[in-house]
Amino acid sequence: MNFSKEGQGPVVVLSHALALDRGMWSDVAAALTPHCTVVRYDHRGHGEATGAIDPFSIEDLADDAADLIREVSSDPVVFVGLSLGGMVGQALAARHPALLRGLAVLNSAAHYPDRSTWDARILAVREGGMQAIADSSIERWLTPAFRQSPAGQAMAGRLREVLLRTDPLAYTRTCEAIAGMDLRPGNRRIENPTLIVAGRQDMATPPAMSQAMAKDIASARVVEVEAAHISAAEIPGELASLLDDWIRALPA
């Protein structure tokens, strides 16, 4: 597994979204490293991760994350996942609770009752490659107002470049894993302190999905932010401050 480790203090593991890579967290990581040891990694088939891409589940990705945590830390860590990373975090807390000091789930979901959207994306990429879903992805990821700003245009360009470099097979395998997941039974077993962050303008995982997760996770609280789906790219400073305050308040 490809990962980076920087900073000093309690270990925080950042887990990225579908069709992106650990670079998605650059601005958030920079804000956290003065107080935390930040570990970022690439999911199977994303970024610089290598190897065969056989079918896998969200639980398999959670086991990948567990192996990484054992490698980078002898103590429980704070796990922060956005979108796909948040799905991995939920499965990780259910399967390996002793590895976690706290869990933050950002712009994510536990279950999709209708898989037709995922099937449509899989078909589009199989027929047209990653270019076929690039425009629609950027529109979901960032708010219209942010995309129209100079900073937003630059960020959209960087995210698009990463998306287009993503292995199409890795993308479709991950879509299949997401379409088939149901993390709700495991969420009812989670006892780790849990922060859920919802974007008010997130059309991919609307706030209602965050509220549904919170009902199943006994220790969860929900915070809403003014952002679309990839909040780490749109409001990194605000998000880092929110996470920093929450991490400082966690039990030792």
Q: What is the CATH number of the domain that holds 173?
A: 3.40.50.1820
pLDDT in tens, 152-184: 999 999 999 999 999 999 999 999 999 999 999
pLDDT in tens, 29-69: 999 999 999 999 999 999 987 666 899 999 999 999 999 99
Average pLDDT, the chain: 96
d(CA 97, CA 134): 36
In this structure, are residues 91 and 213 in contact, taking their beta carbons and an 8 Å threshold?
no
Q: Is the confidence at residue 106, as pLDDT, over 80? A: yes
Residue 171 has a pLDDT of: 96
Which two three-digit tokens encode residue 115? Answer: 């898989």
Q: Span 131-146, mean pLDDT?
A: 98
Burial grade of 212 (CB within 10 A; 0-12, 13-18, 19 or more): middle
Instruction: Provide the whole-model pTM.
Output: 0.97
How many structural domains does the chain have? Answer: 1
- Segments forming the whole domain that contains residue 22: 3-249
Label residue 107 left, alpha or beta by phi (over 0 means left) and psi (-120 to 50 means alpha): left
- Reported confidence tier of residue 70, pLDDT bands at 50, 70, 90: very high
Residue 52 has a pLDDT of: 64
Residue 53 has a pLDDT of: 83
d(CA 223, CA 226): 10
Percent of the chain beyond pLDDT 70?
Answer: 99
- At 216 the three-state DSSP class reads helix
Q: Span 90-95, mean pLDDT?
A: 98
Percent of the chain beyond pLDDT 90?
Answer: 96
Q: Span 218-236, mean pLDDT?
A: 97
d(CA 176, CA 183): 15
